[in-house]
Chain A
Amino acid sequence: MSGTVVVVIGYLVAGLVWGGYLWWSGREVGDR
């Protein structure tokens, strides 16, 4: 696996994680 491939995968995963949190933190949720 080349360095470029792991960089692309790593940044994609990071984008999904941060994007997911930004979306999720804006949702109205139930409290417990």
Chain B
Amino acid sequence: MDSTPPSTGHRARVVPRLLVWAAALTTALALTVGLVVAPPDAAQGTSQRLMYVHVPSAWVAYLCFLTVLVGSLGYVRGRDLRWDRVARAAAELGVGLTALAIVTGALWGRVTWGVWWTWDARLVTTTVLLVVYVGYLGVRGLGEDPHTNARRAAVVGVLGFVNVPLVHFSVVWWRTLHQPPTILAPGTDPPIAPIMAAALGLAMLASTLLAGVVISRRVVRLARAAERTTAAASSPPATESAAFHVVAAPGRTDREAVP
């Protein structure tokens, strides 16, 4: 792994317009193909169109949690908070998309299965995944020192990723109501009509590009906030009459009050 953390310099602070435009155009195209061009499923009817939201949400959540793993390992290796900010931004989005996958799955299940929820291996492992990464975000708020928070979060970020393959392969390893993988079905051609595959592919691409926009914007804002905190910690006290002076260790954003 490259030990160089993601740059937060001037260039990296400007999200490339190309990415934003690509995400916007792909999203518009995905919505058009998914809702208008692709026909309703012969067996499931129009509710199958929820798969163009459900599957990409789960896919991008996987990517987000992979990013959390990479960011966590990067932080552990170099103790650089820039890696931690990438992991944090990815986890924040991954949690929302996992919840979105569960909600859209419940809506689809109500029409197709007749129930909102069932104690199925895929549903249960996905819910556990959500709880683990909500915990990851919660751990970040336990302390005041950003390095302590980052170190604790990195442990959860690395160990928590074990859940991702568990979720993905749960439909293969156990007998479940949830259907097995469609696109990533091992050793078979995808059992899906080409126009539906195109709609799904576009939706997955659009979601991935949107995630790139969201995470990069968030990382830039987190970096700016960290710079403000560091600058505030480094500035001298306003008056000599202050009872306490605030000092900061070089390269650290935590502050220590000394008499």
The residues of A with any CB-CB pair to B shorter than 8 Å are 1-4, 6-7, 9-11, 13-14, 17-18, 20-22, 24-32
- What's the Cα separation between A16 and B104 when bound, in Å? 13
Please give, as numbers and ranges, the residues of chain B lying within 8 Å of A20 by CB-CB distance. 96
Please give, as numbers and ranges, the residues of chain A lying within 8 Å of B104 by CB-CB distance. 10, 13-14
CB atoms of B96 and A9 under 8 A apart: no
- CB-CB nearest 7 A-B residue pairs: A31-B225, A3-B47, A25-B217, A25-B218, A6-B107, A3-B46, A3-B45
CB atoms of B50 and A6 under 8 A apart: yes
- In the complex, what residue of chain B is closest to A28 when comparing beta carbons? B221
Additional A-B contact list (14), CB under 8 Å, known A11-B53, A22-B213, A24-B218: A1-B111, A3-B45, A3-B48, A4-B46, A6-B108, A10-B50, A10-B53, A13-B100, A14-B104, A22-B217, A30-B229, A31-B253, A32-B144, A32-B149
Task: Report if A22-B100 is in contact (Cβ < 8 Å); known contacts: A31-B229, A32-B144.
Answer: no
Number of interface residues of B (CB under 8 A): 43
- In the complex, what residue of chain B is closest to A16 when comparing beta carbons? B100
Please give, as numbers and ranges, the residues of chain A lying within 8 Å of B103 by CB-CB distance. 10, 13
- Give the tally of cross-chain contacts (CB within 8 A): 83
Please give, as numbers and ranges, the residues of chain B lying within 8 Å of A11 by CB-CB distance. 35, 53
Of the residues A7, A10, A21, contact of B214 by C-beta under 8 Å: A21
Task: Report if A26-B217 is in contact (Cβ < 8 Å); known contacts: A6-B108, A10-B103, A17-B97.
Answer: yes
CB atoms of A17 and B111 under 8 A apart: no
- What's the Cα separation between A9 and B103 when bound, in Å? 10
> Does B82 interact with chain A (Cβ within 8 Å)?
no
- What's the Cα separation between A9 and B100 when bound, in Å? 12
